[in-house]
Structure 1
Amino acid sequence: MSKELEHAFVTELENNQNIVHKVCTLYTNDKDAHNDLFQEITIQLWKAYPKFRGDSKFSTWMYRVALNTAITLYRKSKRKVSTQSYESVIFKIKADEYDETEELQLKLMYKAVKQLGDIDKALVFLYLEDKDYAEISETLGISEVNARVKMNRIKKKLKTILNP
């Protein structure tokens, strides 16, 4: 891979790494698992980057890869996220500290969202990121109508979880 392509990837990843941190927070329960999943998602993004054609925004593509990686690993283990090493590439990415103790409401929301199924979690995540239903449907590979219906059902379910 060329240095230009590597530089472009690192720049995009640095600018959008909060996406990956948020996905990691949804699918892990502790800092070590969060860091392991972050590493695995970064590896998968790097492997897939040469095939990124730019048909969608980088962030949309990144959501899709991150969510697919998290869901795949979550389904495989259900307990602990395993990682693989990718020794041929060394990234020099400035890692922003992601403060998991921001606000009580955010923690409660994450706790409630973690009780949802894999696809529902991803849908809520994208919705909270202010993605429109067209982008949500493209990212998750479902129809726009299906995304809207699912979101309405999820909202009702979250209200029940948060206000028993």
Structure 2
Amino acid sequence: MRPFYSMKSLKIPESVLVVIYTPLLDVLLIERADCPGFWQSVTGSKDHVDELIAETAAREVAEETGIIVGSFEIPSDRLVDWDHFIQYHIYPQWRHRYAPGVFLNTEHWFGLCVPEKTRVKLSPHEHVEYVWLPWSEAAHNCFSPSNGDAIRQLPSRHGM
């Protein structure tokens, strides 16, 4: 018997990865609730096909960390589209979230520079822990190789 799929509940295979970092290049990593030991940057898919990718990035940052892009503390221009995207194979354990036959996701990379000691409030159903690490250590600790690659680009993208 074929599983029932609701088009409303299926993920759109276009997403963002947002590297959140401080001026000293400490990077925020968050641990997934559904996969203990899987540390990552903020990620997430578009809510609807017409959602602008920058809107997806700002929304995901707010949902996953409580950091509000466009607030007094975090002006909108701090969220920078790195004008880079990759395509990757969706991990088998998460393919059920997509329409049948969807195996690839397009991920757009962003950076978000926040002040030191920016308060983080995790979404408990998505993430259970967070840590700020120097960029090279953060890159090493990501479960996703592409997330590590994005973080390794941080010094050159930040102008160092």
Same fold (TM over 0.5): no
Calculate the TM-score normalised by the size of structure 1. Answer: 0.31
Higher percent of residues as strand: 2
Select the structure with the greater relative contact order (CA < 8 A; seq sep ≥ 6): 2
